[in-house]
Amino acid sequence: MTQTTSRIKNYFNEIDTYLEKTYKIAELAKKVGIDPSDKVEMPVARDISERVEGILSAASEDIVGKGMPQRINELEKIYGKLDWRVALRISLEVAQEKFCKFETKQEAMSLGVKAGLTYLTLGIVSAPLEGFIGFEIKKRRDGKEYLAMAFAGPIRAAGGTAGAVFVLVGDYVRKEMGYSEYDPDEKELNRFYTELMDYNDRCVRLQYVPSEEETKFLISKIPIEITGDPTEKIEVSNFKDLPRVPTNRIRGGMCLVVGECLIQKAPKVNKRVEEWGVEMGLGHWTFLADFLKLQKEIKSRGDGNTPKKEESEDDKKDKPKIQSNYKFIQDIVAGRPVFTFPMEKGGFRLRYGRCRTSGFASNSCSAQTMEILLDFLAVGTQLKLERPGKATVVTPCDTIEGPVVKLKSGEIKRLDTIEIARKYKDEIDEIVHLGDLLIGYGEFSENNHPLVPSGYCEEEWALELIEKLNEAHK
């Protein structure tokens, strides 16, 4: 073990030695004066805190060497590595000019939240510099000042979760710096929804198309305005020439942040807000819980614009606790197979657990199921799911229940091995049941989704057996 550790240390020391030599050569080349800059523009970073400083140095060189990496490490000891509260605190401290001074308050706040987003994205994407344009200070109708976060198209690289948390970071800085809340009127709410629909229908398809109810509810509650530069030549179809909206053209960055970040990732953000929102002064974000109730109701209806019907007492009694979610099949592309409709009998059966081949947002089904579906489900195929998240990558597992089929002879058969599946594949008349889909508990926890009852499985049988044996020996 000691010998192995020594070899690993020598390996990394050798990499560091060659890296230093390479940088010295690069520095000599830069001093020739052919390039615009006389410095090597790629700083070496050994951890996330140094990467944050390195990326921010492209926006402001004054931040370098002022102790920000050390402060990030201190915050990680308090809250834990990659905790969102680290991003909140470091953003505020940069905005408060604790590391270096800025010409304007606006510039300080903009670089502050960029520090937060860089930390959230592990310092490996360009979204903090290219996707966030900066803060805009605007006037409310009562004359008080509020903040608007301006986004551009490259914010997509941050990902949905980081993009949603970034708005939380922006609002945290807004509140601590003493700015008022955004006060949208009905026309501005309509503009948000119209622009989202125009972007989805005429520019780029959104992964998640929010309903009018969802959009207006969320925008009316968020204390900070989401805006951005125009990214498309197309103008919005309606609600133009609004005094506080600077352009009539479609703003792609705004559409991505509202549609694919805030609305889609609200469950994840709400989970953290419930844990420490009040502690961090973000208790006003509890509106997300009401938003999720509305979203659940809309998804169960299958149509975001259909009003909810009044239910009788008998209907409420017969209503299942887990409602069908039709959202994942609303934007079906021609030619893509649909393996099962929401909560349809004969579809995949939920099985909790993990196997060697599953992982984060990667679930497993029976290898026999892959075989009888004519290889539409191959290893690594992406599937849109009804729950708990929006999608998964499928892998095979040979220890969960396989499919049940009806043969042309009329016989009902469960395909327990891949050999049996290959033997009867051409004789199948109907698939009665697709078999198990293995999903880890973590997928439900991460998406803040309530646990769904699973099918009867070996683990449950074993617990019942132990219970009966204990009763028999009393």
**Residues contacting residue 64 through CB under 8 Å, at least 6 positions apart:** 53, 57
Is there a contact between 224 and 171 (Cβ–Cβ < 8 Å)?
yes
Q: Which long-range contacts (CB under 8 A, 24 or more apart) does 6-11 make?
A: none
Residue 382: phi, psi to the nearest 5?
-90, 130
Is there a contact between 109 and 95 (Cβ–Cβ < 8 Å)?
yes
What residues of the chain score a pLDDT lower than 50?
Answer: 1, 304-309
Count other Cβ atoms within 10 Å, centred on residue 158.
26
Give residue for tokens 């006037």. Answer: 139
pTM value is: 0.71
DSSP state string for 275-308: HHTTTTT-GGGGHHHHHHHHHHHHHHHT-TTSPP
Q: Are strands 225-228 and 145-151 parallel, antiparallel or unpaired?
A: parallel
Question: What pLDDT is stored for residue 208 in this prediction?
Answer: 81
Question: What pLDDT is stored for residue 304 in this prediction?
Answer: 46
Question: What pLDDT is stored for residue 416 in this prediction?
Answer: 85
Is there a contact between 447 and 389 (Cβ–Cβ < 8 Å)?
yes
DSSP state string for 42-69: S---SSHHHHHHHHHTTT-GGGTTSSHH
Residue 228's identity, in one-letter code, is G
Q: Are strands 391-397 and 382-384 parallel, antiparallel or unpaired?
A: antiparallel
Is there a contact between 401 and 366 (Cβ–Cβ < 8 Å)?
yes
- Adjacent-strand bridge partners of 405: 413, 431
Q: Are strands 436-439 and 349-352 parallel, antiparallel or unpaired?
A: parallel
